[in-house]
Amino acid sequence: MSVIRALHQQLVSKERSAVEITQAYLDQIAALEPTLHSYLTVTGDQALAQAAAVDARIAAGEAIGMLSGIPIALKDNLCTQGVRTTCGSKILENFVPPYESTVTAKLRDAGAIALGKTNLDEFAMGSSTENSAYQVTGNPWDVTRVPGGSSGGSAAAVAAGECAVALGSDTGGSIRQPASFCGVVGLKPTYGLVSRFGLVAYASSLDQIGPLSRTVEDAALLLQGIAGHDPRDSTSLDVKIPDYTQSLKTDLKGRKVGIITETFAAEGIDAQVRAATATAIQQLKELGAEVQEISCPRFAYGLPTYYIIAPSEASSNLARYDGVKYGARTANDSLMTMYTKTRAEGFGAEVKRRIMIGTYALSAGYYDAYYLKAQKVRTLIKQDFEVAFSQVDVLVCPTAPTTAFKAGEKIDDPLSMYLSDLMTIPVNLAGLPGLSLPCGFDDQGLPIGLQIIGNALREDLLFEVGYAYEQATEWHQRVAM
């Protein structure tokens, strides 16, 4: 059973109070944080006050929704009014937003309980959560290894039982890749399905907020709570949100599943990851799905395309951190020196690297050769997916080429680190939904993720295929800590 559904039943039957449930998660955080380092800020008093309010509603005989009284962790690039929001960066070390993001406001209004803000790669730029200015988060399956990134804190918190569910953000795989590394479920929704208002921007045409959870049903319930049109986000889609739980079925008769052939021949893919994914595909066949190979010939160009478009947008978005309006300021006599020193001292190495790449790609004389060309290739990648979805309902491939690597192993080799997002990036470039769920373990006891990709706004199909697979296997029942 899903974690959310189990807790909801305990609350409505009065078997446990919201305060008791919240305290149990806070106790788990207190026990594990000295070694795990998932959270940057824990809001224990606030969480207990929110829980007491839920208990008061139950005592008064009010009906509560599925998310009411559910303890949740929030990635620290979501603005929370009155609670520090750092983005894992020194430049926002003391920033307390004066407003609430749309998704966190929706969760608050639904009665969800915010336990705190989780660690991330600085400004969500990274694949290991080692680029945080504050701490390195451990992987709950082996704390000497990374939890993935950039939503590594959220993924680790879910895997270690430090929250019921969590929110992350995904620009090039930042929900799905840590979900794969930590053995949990992670969903990157269709671009525009979830409001980005109050999400601190990295690359605005790619960023999307989504759930991390223990089960597919939990992901469906959490997406239900955060999806929907928001007039404050100009890219928000005005579409009807279906009841995603209606898609949770246990057989796949009549479903067509495509295997992206290029991903199995991809550079650096681990043999055990390939084998576990192949076994998962066989399981989908046994559940009644028709499986066929599908070629997405431009899939491999996703990585170089992303590393022009995303840094270009970051270069523009991060220009606002200049020491003038908010965030850190390095005092100096001259305005230009203040700008320069504030940014030099406030940003970490990876953020500086991406700002410089982006500024170069957008500069006069290089714009057409790099940025414009990348946008054209992005269109071709999207067209490959359109052709594929004219033949099948969903596509499958590994979520990441490898399992979790050792902390420090790739930190000095940015190109090797970037390859961690090889399988996930094309999905963001095309604006499509992607789901990662556990499909096995390697010989080191580390989780392996299966990625299911859907056409735009077909999250229902991802939940259908993911749930059927999950119910037929036991990977999601294994516990890390």
Give the active site residue among 17, 38, 132, 150: 150
Give the active site residue among 75, 106, 117, 410: 75
**Cβ contacts of residue 367 below 8 Å, gap of 6+?**
361
Q: Would you report the helix, strand and coil content of the chain in percent, each value rounded to 5? A: 45, 15, 40
Write the CA distances from 412 to 85, 95, 130, integer angstroms. Answer: 27, 29, 11
Alpha helices in 95-186 (DSSP H): 102-109, 152-159, 176-182
174 is catalytic: yes
Rounded to 5 degrees, φ, ψ at 366 are -120, -15
Contact 177, 421 (CB under 8 A): yes
E-state strands within 422-461: 434-441, 447-454
For residues 451 and 424, what is the distance between their CA atoms, to the nearest angstrom?
8
Rounded to 5 degrees, φ, ψ at 169 are -130, 150
For residues 342 and 321, what is the distance between their CA atoms, to the nearest angstrom?
8
Rounded to 5 degrees, φ, ψ at 117 are -115, 135
Collapsed DSSP state (helix, strand, coil) of residue 183: coil
The CA radius of gyration of the chain, in Å to the nearest whole number, is: 21
Give the active site residue among 127, 174, 195, 436: 174
75 is catalytic: yes
Rounded to 5 degrees, φ, ψ at 63 are -80, 140
- The 10 Å Cβ neighbour count of residue 390 is 8
For residues 458 and 475, what is the distance between their CA atoms, to the nearest angstrom?
24
Give the CA count within 13 Å in the CB-facing half-sphere of 253.
Answer: 2
Contact 149, 129 (CB under 8 A): yes
150 is catalytic: yes
For residues 188 and 431, what is the distance between their CA atoms, to the nearest angstrom?
10
Give the CA count within 13 Å in the CB-facing half-sphere of 383.
Answer: 8
Catalytic residues: 75, 150, 174
